[in-house]
Structure 1
Amino acid sequence: MIANLFHRWRWLGAWTLANLLLAWLIASRYVPYIDPDGAAQWGYLSLVFLGHLALLVWLGALPLFLLATVIRGRWLWLVTTLWASTLQLLLLLDTFVYAQYRFHLSGFILDLLLNAGGDVFSFSWVAWSLAIGGVLGMLVIQGVMGLWLKRRFLSRPVWSTLAVCVTALLGVHGWHAWADAHYDREITGMTRHVPVFYPATAKRFFVKQGWVDAQAVRDAVDLEAAPGGEQDLSYPLAPLSCTTSASPDNLMLVVLDTLRHDMLNPQVMPNLHRYANQPGWIKASEHISGGNSTKAGVFSLFYGLPVTYWDAFTAGQTPPVLMETLETQDYRFEVLSSATLVSPAFDRNVFAGLEEVSLEPAQGDPWQRDRQITDDWLAWTREESQNPGDRPFFSFLFYDAVHGYSHPPDFPRFTPYWESVNHIALGPDFDPEPYWNRYRTAARYVDQQLGRVLDDLDARGLLEDTAVVITSDHGESFNEHGKNYWGHGSNYTPEQVQVPLVMHLPGHPGGEITRRSHHADIAPTLLEEVLGCESAPERYSLGHNLLEPKAKREWMLSGSYMGYGILMPDYQVAVHPAGTFEVYDYRMNELDEVRPDPVASTQVLQALSRFYR
């Protein structure tokens, strides 16, 4: 019996090897979009095929090896034929989806194909004939291949090939991690074209070990956008026409990491609340971040685009239109961050091309770093007041203490208070109040630092000609709905994606934005209201000017670490990186009976592909 099982496994191993060759043939359809050039790129691509694509094939074959213990003969042959055909056809379908949209197949798109039908996709009889012929052809290929391999024993080539593939897999991830740490966009720019490929990055680890000097590497490389980035992207769709003012306004953008919308109250944030309710200040009543994570939230804030574009912009080191316009208009830059800018790699997208940006964050605990960047900012404004120049400034302050639940030991606390945070203790029955109070205490400390900044601007008379935008990258959950969600990055409920937005635009009377707004709206607002650009946000963003009345949005996009969410008025569609999707209400109750709206889904697909060539 054991001998028969090993015989079936050897046969399945040979079949897997044959399917590996077939998968490589199908995946060659991605190569024109990767467009490798030179020995290094071809070598890396070879490792991707040998390692990553081989891993996908072996993982696909794993269930068959398990089934072989309970079924045999023609039934095993039939199941294997159907299963292998399905997986290869999905890979083939992905190549067509990628050719059309420049992103890969997901369960969301499959659901539209199966359930929305002609409401989203329109197929001619020729397309249907080719599809049916492809399915039948793949079944024939797999069936004949299985019967042919039954008469042959290929165990040695199978296991040696597996060893080569594992070695290649380790090699490709190591190569990518090193290339990412050294800004080698010729390598990192290739990865987004390969399905289900999430290569390793280790820049922070390399820096910590002293193997890479991030600042020295960045100073040594060409920071301009790479030609490869231009090949992948059509961004902006057309140039903007901007008129530089004779007396341009300064611009300050402040991001308070992990600050949710309900922190904007006089008990927790008295300083921000005071300014938000003064004449000349604007606040949004329902503002949605472009993400439930820092990566997605900050990316959407600067680009006005969903984080699904992250890989393409990062690989090409293509900065946002907002930053390029600031450079064109000769702004000075003062970027002060309490957290690292290399992980997530904002140094390679948002701040790409800015030579004066330092990658060295402040040192110490989060509250100490927040105080340090505040001190640095006040010192900079003091020096500027003594040596005034004609050039306006752009400043970016990124505070991290709320994210770290951090504040000075002697800072006044909300009580009851959790002295020592132990995330293992969190659970559905855990009392959130002490944890919540620690979070609120950290928020009040950050508000104190923010108050120092705003009061200094006011005292120096800089608010008269400085546009100020204060917001957050994402919120934080404390098990509000009893589903055991804590922290962020796990869903798209208001607790995780609704954040404060407070703005001051010189010359604007202020007031409240009562309609639902989004991070994608901030860049168009600043470009049009501060930098004198024409009203054409559709060329570079999914948003629009916040000061212009617009129709109610039917959907918004918010990203996570890897997947993204479609936010409808009454439910959210969570699209996961593995391709699956789920529909929830905003209390995280799963809605099995709800299907994504076909019209909105069509618009989402167009938005996710609009800026790819």
Structure 2
Amino acid sequence: MPSTLFLRWRWIGAWTLANMLLAWLIASRYVDYIEPSGLTQWAYLGLVFLGHVSLLVWLGALPLFVLAPIVRGRLMWLVGTIWASSLQLLLLLDTLVYDQYRFHLSGFILDLLLNAGGDVFSFSWVAISITLAGILAMLVLQGVLGRMLKKRGTRGASRIAFALTVLALLGVHGWHAWADAFYDQKITAMTRHFPLFYPATAKRFFIEQGWVDAQEVRDHVKLGASSQAGRGLNYPLAPLECRGSESPDNVMLVVVDALRHDMLNPTVMPNLYRYAQSPGWINASEHFSGGNSTKAGVFSLFYGLPVNYWDAFTASQQPPVLLDTLEAQDYRFKVLSSATLVSPAFDRNVFSGLDDVSLKPAEGEPWERDQQITDDWLAWISDREKFDGQSSGQRSGPGNGQRPFFGFLFFDAVHGYSSPPDYPRFTPYWETVNHLALGPDFDAEPYFNRYRTAAHYVDQLLGRVLDDLKARGLLENTAVVITADHGESFNEHGKNYWGHGSNYSREQVEVPLVMHLPGHSGGKIDFRTQHADIAPTLLEEVLGCEAAPARYTLGHNLTQGASAKDWMLSGSYMGYGILLPDRQVDVAPTGRFEVYDYQMQPLDAARPDPSTSQAVLKALSRFYR
């Protein structure tokens, strides 16, 4: 019996090796979108095929190895033929989907094909005939391979191939991690084109070990969009015409990490609430972040795009249109972050076009870091006025020798539930957080009060910043946007959801939006808005750009009224959600999707509307070539 089983395994191993070569052939279709040049890129590409593509084949063959002890003879040949054919056809279908949309096959798309194909995709009889012929050809090919290799076999070749796969896999992930740390676009730009490929990054680890000095590397590397790495992007779809004012307004963008919408009240955030209710200030009643994580939320804020574009923009180091326009209009930049900008890698997308950006965050506890960036900001704005010789109340602009500024502050204390030891607290208060104690029956109030205390502390810092602008007479000619990257859950619906990154409930994706736009009367916005609306609003209302948001964003100028579409996109660490007025569609990284209402009750019978699904697919592929 053992010797028979060994022979059967050797046969399956030989069959797997043949399918590995076939998978390489099919996957070579992705190379057309990579356009590698030079020995380095071809070598890396070879490791991707030998390591990652081969790994997918080995994983696909694993069920056959498991079935070998109980399935034998012709039945094993039949099962292997059908299984191998299905997987190879799935890979081929992925290349076709990628050719159409520039993203990979998922359960969401399969559901459209199976349940709404006629409404979304058009299939001619010729296409159907070719598809059926392809399926038949693949079955015949696999059947012949299975019969032929059972008779001949391969002595040890499959074991050598497996060992090479493991070595190549380690090599490709290590190579990518190192290339990512050194901003090597030639390598990092290649990875997104392969399905299920999530190469390693370890920049923070390299920095902690002292192997990489991120600031020195960034200062010596030419960032910004690479013509080669950016070939796959078509962003913006067309250039914007912007006519800068002779007296341009300053722009200030403040993001509070993990601040949910209901914290904007006179008890928790009295300073921000006071400004939100003041004349000339805009307060959005129902604003949604583009993500339930920092990565997705900040990316969507600057680009006005879903985080699904993250890999492409990061690999090409393509800055957002908003910051490109600010640079073109000679704005002075001050970027201050309490959290690191290298993980997530905002230094390689959002801020890649800026030369003078510090990658070293402030030190200490989150509340200390927030205090430090506040002090740094107040010192910078004071020095700026002294340097430029501007007196209080004077408008900035070329006419008086003053360059306008763009300020970015990123506060982290709310995310860290952090406040000074002697700071007044909401009670009862959870002194020592033990996440292992969290559960469906855990009393959330002390934990929530710790969170509210941190929000109150950050509000004091925001009050200092805004009051200082007002005292200097800068507020009247400074566009201010204050919002958050995502919200935070405290088991509101009894489903044991804590923190963020797990769903698209209002607690995790609805955030405050308080804005001041010079020249606008302000007031409350009573329709749904999203992060994608902020960039076009600033570009059109502050920077004098033409109204053409479709060229660079999924949003629109929120001063022009509600959006015509009833859906929004919000992302997570890897998957994304479709936010409808009464429900959310949670699309997992695997492509599996589930529909919930906003109380996190599953709607098992509900399915995405085909027209909405089609619009979402177009949105997710609009800015790819």
Question: Does 329-338 or 76-85 show the bigger shift?
Answer: 76-85
Partner of 1:521: 533
Alignment-derived partner of residue 435 in structure 2: 423
Q: Are 2:88 and 1:88 aligned? A: yes
Q: Deviations over 1:397-427 (max 9, x none)?
A: 0000011111111111111111111111111
Counterparts in 2 of 1:349-498, with a 5 A limit?
Answer: 349-388=349-388, 389-498=401-510
Bigger drift between 186-195 and 549-558 goes to 549-558
- Superposition map of 1:129-528 within 5 A: 129-388=129-388, 389-528=401-540
SS in structure 2 at match of 1:198: coil
Quote the offset at 1:576 in angstroms: 1.4
Q: Which residue of 1 aligns with 2:569?
A: 557
| Fraction of identical pairs, as percent | 74
Letter in 2 for 1:175: W
Q: Please state if 1:595 is matched with 2:607.
A: yes
Report the alpha carbon displacement of residue 18 of structure 1 after superposing the two structures with TM: 0.9
- 1:552 is displaced (CA, Å) by 4.8
Contact 1:515–1:552 (8 Å) recurs in 2: no
TM-score relative to the length of structure 1: 0.99
Amino acid at match of 1:114: L
- What residue ranges of structure 1 are gaps of 5+ in the alignment? none
The farther-off stretch of 177-186 and 552-561 is: 552-561
- In 1, Cα distance between equivalents of 2:364 and 2:196: 37
Out of 513-522 and 569-578, give the one that drifted further: 569-578
Letter in 2 for 1:557: L
The separation in 2 between residues aligned to 1:581 and 1:3, in whole angstroms, is 44
Secondary structure, counterpart of 2:558 in structure 1: coil
Superimposed CA distance per residue, residues 302-351 of structure 1 (whole angstroms, 9 cap, x where no aligned partner): 00001111111111111000000000000000000000001111111111
| In 2: Cα distance, 1:571 partner to 1:334 partner | 39
1:58-77 mapped onto 2 (5 Å cutoff): 58-77=58-77
Structure 1 letter corresponding to 2:450? R
State the SS of the aligned residue for 1:284. Answer: strand
Q: Are 1:260 and 1:497, in contact at CA under 8 Å, matched by a contact in 2? A: yes
Question: Residue 256 of structure 1 contacts residue 472 of structure 1 at CA under 8 Å; is this kept in 2?
Answer: yes
Deviation at 1:153, TM superposition (A): 2.8
SS at match of 2:605: coil
TM-score computed with the length of structure 2 as normaliser: 0.97
Paired amino acid for 1:259: L
CA contact (8 A) 2:584 2:597 kept: yes
Match of 1:571 in 2: 583
Take 1:385 and 1:127, find their aligned partners in 2: how far apart are those partners? 67
Whichever residue aligns with residue 307 of structure 1, its letter is V
Amino acid corresponding to residue 9 of structure 2 in structure 1:
W
CA–CA distance in structure 2, aligned partners of residues 333 and 34 of structure 1: 34
d(CA) in 2 for partners of 1:5 and 1:428? 48
State the AA in 1 paired with 2:580.
Answer: M
Give per-residue Cα distances to partners, 1:449-486, cap 9 Å, x unaligned. Answer: 11110110111111010000000000011111111111
What is the RMSD computed on CA atoms of the aligned residues?
A: 1.0
Counterpart Cα distance in 1 of 2:10 and 2:441: 50
**Is the Cα–Cα contact under 8 Å of residues 23 and 57 in structure 2 kept in the other structure?**
yes
Residues 143-199 of structure 1 deviation map (CA, whole Å, 9 limit, x = unaligned): 111111111232400101100010000000000000000000000000010111000
Q: Which residue does the alignment assign to 2:556?
A: 544
Q: Structure 2: which 5+ residue stretches go unaligned? A: 389-400
Asked whether the 8 Å contact 2:299–2:350 carries over to 1, the reply is yes
The 3-state SS of whatever aligns with 2:559 is: coil
**Within 2, Cα distance between the matches of 1:327 and 1:517?**
27
What is the CA–CA distance in structure 2 between the aligned matches of 1:186 and 1:353, rounded to whole Å? 18
* Inter-partner Cα distance in structure 1 for 2:118 and 2:548: 32
Q: In 2, distance between residues paired with 1:127 and 1:550?
A: 41
Distance 2:108 2:566 in 1: 18
Structure 2 counterpart of 1:495, one-letter code:
E
Q: How many Å apart are 1:3 and its aligned residue? A: 2.4
Q: Which residue of 2 aligns with 1:100?
A: 100
Matched residue SS, 2:344 = coil
Alignment of 1:8-47 (within 5 A): 8-47=8-47
Residue 431 of structure 1: how far off its partner (Å):
1.2
Is the Cα contact below 8 Å between 1:207 and 1:213 reproduced in 2? yes
Measure the CA separation in 2 of the matches of 1:559 and 1:268. Answer: 28
How many residue pairs get matched? 613
User: What amino acid sits opposite 1:169 in the alignment?
Assistant: L
Q: Which moved more, 1:579-588 or 1:353-362?
A: 579-588
